[in-house]
Structure 1
Amino acid sequence: MIEVSRFWRDPALPFVEARRVGDGRKVCYAAHSHESFSIGVITGGRSTYLSGGNQGEVRAGTTVLMNPGVVHTCNPIAGQAWSYLMLFVDMPWLQTLGFALPVQTCSTSPALYSRLLQLFADLFDSQQEGREERLTSFFIELPSYLQAACEEPQNAHPRLDAAAAFIRAHRLDALTLQDICSASNLSRSYLIRAFRQRFGLTPHGYLLDQRVQHARAQLRSGRAIAEVALEAGFSDQAHLQRAFKQHLAATPGHYRDANLK
């Protein structure tokens, strides 16, 4: 039987992380985002899929793509089984390749699906040589599998964007809603309503998501959970545990101590 969930990391490829989920019914998420670029394949069953302003259903054979900072979630439909593989890639490494973030949030291309499955197989095989070269080739060629960008540009909301940027810059501080309002020159009522419409989370939810992302990065380096919890702005380890599990469907300990290969 395939494991319910396993993280994969390798010191030889520090810019990439993968996750295998064999039973998506036991790995459910609240709306959240990542600092990395995320791409994965649905390998069995079907689930809901929300990414930014796009919402629908994905099933086996579908590739999903999630840009950094975009709020998203995937969860089972009426308790039905589903499974998937996900790849999380650090943006600085991708930028060295000249990688441009895609507009497309999912694809049903059989060729892309097959290519990604092979890439996962290569990564998980610790004896496989040339894994970084295969990753490089995949991301250079990824645009050829996707549709050309045809969506209209999103309307600019400079004050809301400023509010989000302020939260990101001060995510480890004891922020209040008034701090965010003052920094963005917005009223409390407008900020709460409009922020959620634009980002899919309330300002508090966005701050919590940012703190979980910080904790994730620190735990990946093996730091003590209690120490990371306080640094990230959580009241204690239990508070971090609840938020981490809600956002990433894994405990901080399970994530930190995942097998490196």
Structure 2
Amino acid sequence: MIDSPLRSGINCSDPGFKGRIAADRAGIEAYAAADGDVHRLSHARLNRVLAYVDARLGDKLSVVDLAAVAGMDPSGFTRALRARTGLAPYAWLTGLRMTRAAQLIASGMPITQAASHVGYCNAGKFAAAFRRTLGYLPSAAAA
């Protein structure tokens, strides 16, 4: 995973998510179109998607957004990501979020702050997703 500086906090009700994503998408689509084969998730495309996700881990991300970053249509991106990683986009994104949350918790960040950092406003839903994805509770990562 690509490292990024910790962001100060997430406002889970921030209405600006869609506006920021739409503005990002316009510039990214032109760049991604120059990458060649629109049906293949190349290493360069996957790295662009990873960088995009890493910078917006706490934001609401959709397959449409991720596909636009990769320069692919959503269904093609879904098929290509599943072929490359073995996971559907939502499961892949949840795995990235939980892995980052585990790193943040292990580095001493409070669990609720780590949950917010990766886009979870509800502690119960975060703990359930964390356990489902990583196989242990967030409190175990703090130990």
Tell me, yes or no, whether TM beats 0.5: yes
Task: Identify the residue that residue 103 of structure 2 maps to in structure 1.
Answer: 217
Q: Could you give the per-residue CA deviations for residues 174-200 of structure 1, whole angstroms, max 9, x where no partner exists?
A: 212221122111111111111111012
Q: 1:183 to 1:251 in 2, by over 3 A?
A: same
1:196 maps onto 2:86 in alignment: no
Check whether the contact 1:159–1:184 (CA below 8 A) recurs between aligned residues: yes
Cα displacement (A) at 1:160: 4.3
Task: Identify the residue that residue 227 of structure 1 maps to in structure 2.
Answer: 113
Check whether the contact 2:58–2:120 (CA below 8 A) recurs between aligned residues: no
What amino acid is the match of 1:231? H
Task: State how far apart, in whole Å, the 2-side matches of 1:181 and 1:166 are.
Answer: 11
Question: Structure 2-normalised TM-score?
Answer: 0.62
Check whether the contact 2:94–2:133 (CA below 8 A) recurs between aligned residues: no
Check whether the contact 1:168–1:207 (CA below 8 A) recurs between aligned residues: no
Task: Identify the residue that residue 180 of structure 1 maps to in structure 2.
Answer: 66
User: Which of the pair has more CA radius of gyration?
Assistant: 1
More helix by share: 2
For this pair of structures, how many residues does the alignment match? Answer: 105
Cα displacement (A) at 1:235: 3.1
Cα displacement (A) at 1:156: 7.5
Task: State how far apart, in whole Å, the 2-side matches of 1:156 and 1:184 are.
Answer: 7
1:247 maps onto 2:112 in alignment: no
Task: Identify the residue that residue 10 of structure 2 maps to in structure 1.
Answer: none
Q: Could you give the per-residue CA deviations for residues 53-103 of structure 1, whole angstroms, max 9, x where no partner exists?
A: xxxxxxxxxxxxxxxx9xxxxxxxxxxxxxxxxxxxxxxxxxxxxxxxxxx
Task: Identify the residue that residue 122 of structure 2 maps to in structure 1.
Answer: 236
Task: State how far apart, in whole Å, the 2-side matches of 1:177 and 1:243 are.
Answer: 19
What amino acid is the match of 2:117? E
Q: 1:189 to 1:210 in 2, by over 3 A?
A: same
Q: 1:233 to 1:250 in 2, by over 3 A?
A: same
1:207 maps onto 2:93 in alignment: yes
Structure 1 segment 111-122 matched on structure 2, within 5 A? none
Cα displacement (A) at 1:161: 4.5
Task: State how far apart, in whole Å, the 1-side matches of 2:95 and 2:115 are.
Answer: 13
Cα RMSD between the aligned structures?
2.4
2:59 aligns to what SS in structure 1?
coil
Task: State how far apart, in whole Å, the 1-side matches of 2:113 and 2:41 are.
Answer: 39
Give the structure, 1 or 2, with the largest relative contact order (CA under 8 Å, sep 6 or more). Answer: 2
What amino acid is the match of 2:140? H
Task: State how far apart, in whole Å, the 2-side matches of 1:174 and 1:156 are.
Answer: 22
Task: State how far apart, in whole Å, the 2-side matches of 1:231 and 1:177 are.
Answer: 20
Cα displacement (A) at 1:159: 3.3
Check whether the contact 1:160–1:191 (CA below 8 A) recurs between aligned residues: no
What amino acid is the match of 1:167? V
Gaps of 5+ in 2: 3-39
Task: Identify the residue that residue 52 of structure 2 maps to in structure 1.
Answer: 166
More strand by share: 1
Cα displacement (A) at 1:251: 0.5
